């Protein structure tokens, strides 16, 4: 059982370790475990099971390898508060998956066809050994997208990178809003700081309507559009890319497509890292394909998304106005929060 960082990272020491494994072993199986497999033990690390056979001689060539993306195995150890029925259901599902893996592994060894797993040609095992990279389904929906009337465009063809460099130290007394993007795709203020309290030598200023793309969390959905109230906020160039599209409608359309599970799975397939998947620019722009609908359809989708976003903002403002009278009673004071925190039951 092995940390996916070692299998996926392009750091020299990890690549050397993989080369050592290939030099001395035949990789027979890669079972990718769910990301929550060790959650109960307090670890969020992504892991896999490698099945390896020691080589009898250095001349032995790597054969095809069996791979399986586990969904139930490792997440069947539910919390003590779970019901007995839920515990039994989870363990039955994991045991069933184990049986599938064992049966198909035997079929793979016998040269038979497998249905739920994959058989990886040896040329797909020459660098990374994480299954999402070895068995990529990158662009698997291309034909379906074309049939649906969409053109395939590379990510870089849809955007223009924007760079407005700011040196915070040159404005020591100015208050800056530091922006981050949440997993639900919202641009929010992480903190506010004066220029002389910001460590970074340079930051990038964002403008209303631009798309902010998290380099380390895009695969979790952290892709947002700058709202009017955050015009002029700053982002770290080490953590975010800032893009502009030809029209506001295209920006909203593209953000929605990039945040879809299919496109995020594509990004994840070639991203490096383990707990955090790095989606580096300009690399991703050269291989990530986007379904690009005709102009009138993109405009219609974009207008709908922009209208929905405006309605959400109006609802948020109405909610804040309605809650002001309740907050005036002091029920959300700092002292109230502390009182609640110190008396609540432990998790």
> How do 25-32 and 65-69 pair as beta strands?
parallel
The pLDDT of residue 222 is: 97
pLDDT-based confidence at 76, cuts 50/70/90?
A: confident
Q: Does 274 have pLDDT greater than 60?
A: no
The pLDDT of residue 139 is: 83
83 CB-contact burial (10 Å; exposed 0-12 / middle 13-18 / buried 19+): exposed
Q: Give the span between the Cα atoms of 136 and 133, in whole angstroms.
A: 5
Mean pLDDT of 213-223: 94
pLDDT-based confidence at 343, cuts 50/70/90?
A: confident
Tell me the range of 76-85, 129-138, 219-228 where mean pLDDT is highest: 219-228
Higher per-residue confidence, 39 vs 244: 244
- The 10s digit of each residue's pLDDT in 287-298 is 999 999 999 999
- The 10s digit of each residue's pLDDT in 30-47 is 999 988 788 777 777 889
311 CB-contact burial (10 Å; exposed 0-12 / middle 13-18 / buried 19+): exposed
CB atoms within 10 A of CB 338: 10
The pLDDT of residue 273 is: 60
Q: Over the chain, what is the mean pLDDT?
A: 92
The pLDDT of residue 153 is: 97
Helical pair 248-258 and 295-327, crossing angle rounded to 10 deg = 80
Mean pLDDT of 267-271: 83
CB atoms within 10 A of CB 160: 11
The pLDDT of residue 80 is: 77
- The 10s digit of each residue's pLDDT in 116-172 is 999 999 999 999 999 988 887 788 899 999 999 999 999 999 999 999 999 999 999
Mean pLDDT of 247-262: 97
111 CB-contact burial (10 Å; exposed 0-12 / middle 13-18 / buried 19+): exposed
Among the residues of the chain, which ranges form H helices?
4-8, 12-24, 84-109, 131-134, 142-147, 155-158, 248-258, 261-270, 283-287, 295-327, 334-343
The pLDDT of residue 234 is: 98
Q: Does 276 have pLDDT greater than 60?
A: no
Cβ-contact 53, 26 below 8 angstroms: yes
The pLDDT of residue 138 is: 81
Peptide bond into 282 cis (omega under 30): yes
pLDDT-based confidence at 344, cuts 50/70/90?
A: confident
Domains of the chain, earliest start first: 2-134 (no CATH), 142-301 (3.90.220.20)
Q: Does 63 have pLDDT greater than 80?
A: yes
Higher per-residue confidence, 81 vs 285: 285
Q: How far separated are the first and last CA of the chain, in Å rounded?
A: 29
The pLDDT of residue 168 is: 96
Residues with Cβ < 8 Å from 10, sequence gap 6 or more? 272
Element spanning 122, H or E: none
Q: Does 196 have pLDDT greater than 90?
A: yes
């Amino acid at each position: 059982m092995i940390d996916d960082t070692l299998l996926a990272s392009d750091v020299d020491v990890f690549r050397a370790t993989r080369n050592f494994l290939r030099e001395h072993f035949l990789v027979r199986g890669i079972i990718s475990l769910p990301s929550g497999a060790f959650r109960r033990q307090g670890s969020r690390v992504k892991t896999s099971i490698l099945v390896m056979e020691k080589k009898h001689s250095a001349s032995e060539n790597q054969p095809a390898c069996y791979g399986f993306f586990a969904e139930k195995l490792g997440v069947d150890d539910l919390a003590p508060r779970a019901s007995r029925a839920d515990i039994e259901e989870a363990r039955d599902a994991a045991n069933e998956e184990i049986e599938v893996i064992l049966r198909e592994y035997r079929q793979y060894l016998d040269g038979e066809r497998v249905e739920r797993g994959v058989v990886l040609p040896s040329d797909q095992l020459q660098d990374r050994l994480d299954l999402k990279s070895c068995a990529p389904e990158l662009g698997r929906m291309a034909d379906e997208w074309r049939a649906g009337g969409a053109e395939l465009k590379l990510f870089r063809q849809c955007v223009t990178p924007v760079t407005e460099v700011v040196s915070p130290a040159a404005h020591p007394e100015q208050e800056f809003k530091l922006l981050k993007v949440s997993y639900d795709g919202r641009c929010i203020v992480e903190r506010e700081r004066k220029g002389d309290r910001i460590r970074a030598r340079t930051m990038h200023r964002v403008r209303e309507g631009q798309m902010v793309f998290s380099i380390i969390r895009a695969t979790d959905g952290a892709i947002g559009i700058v709202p009017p109230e955050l015009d002029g906020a700053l982002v770290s160039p080490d953590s975010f890319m800032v893009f502009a599209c030809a029209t506001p409608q295209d920006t909203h359309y593209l953000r929605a497509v990039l945040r879809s599970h299919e496109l995020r799975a594509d990004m994840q397939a070639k991203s490096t890292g383990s707990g955090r998947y790095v989606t580096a620019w300009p690399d991703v722009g050269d291989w990530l394909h986007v379904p690009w609908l005709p102009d009138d359809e993109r405009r219609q989708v974009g207008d709908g998304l922009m209208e929905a976003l405006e309605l959400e903002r109006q609802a948020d403002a109405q909610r804040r106005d309605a809650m002001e009278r309740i907050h005036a009673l002091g029920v959300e004071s700092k002292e109230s929060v502390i009182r609640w925190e110190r008396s609540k039951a432990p998790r």
